[in-house]
Amino acid sequence: MRRSKWLALLAVLALALAACGYSDVSDDEPTTTAATGGDGGVAAEGKALFSPCAACHGQNAEGINGLGNPLANSAFVQSKTDDELVAFIVAGRPIDDPDNTTGVAMPAKGGTTYSEEEIAKIVAYLRTLN
């Protein structure tokens, strides 16, 4: 494997380890998902939750070459429903997926322990960028 691929893989693994257990939303807190028509507050919460995703997708979801594709103004994001995007993020994308264009795996839940409700908030934030 080329050196840049190893560095990318190490960056993804470091992100996954750093993000494990991170959440700033309490389990007791009521949630509104993007799929159920969340408001701007939900998108703001999603922006805060996006922090671990920025390691691969960039601070403003502009993408990082060789790690994560841009999510802002993304045809992929625009082509999916909120529920489809949540399901995609929950599942992740392996290196051997034919649609993987970076050659780097996207770990399930982006390497976080986020709930589907928290991921839906991230999707609500991504919708504000498209």
| Structure token digits, residue 18 | 């750093």
pLDDT tens digits in sequence order for the chain, 130 residues long:
555 554 454 454 444 444 444 444 444 343 334 443 446 799 999 999 999 999 999 999 999 999 999 999 999 999 999 999 999 999 999 999 999 999 999 999 999 999 999 999 999 999 999 8
Burial 59-96 (b: 16+ CB within 10 A, else e): eebebbeebbbbbeebeebeebebeebbebbeeebeee
Which domains does the chain show, CATH number per domain? 3-127 (1.10.760.10)
pTM over 0.75: no
| pLDDT tens, residue by residue, 53-64 | 999 999 999 999
Q: To which residue do tokens 């996006």 refer?
A: 50
- Taking the CB of residue 118, how many other CB atoms lie within 10 A of it? 20
- Taking the CB of residue 11, how many other CB atoms lie within 10 A of it? 17
| pLDDT tens, residue by residue, 115-130 | 999 999 999 999 999 8
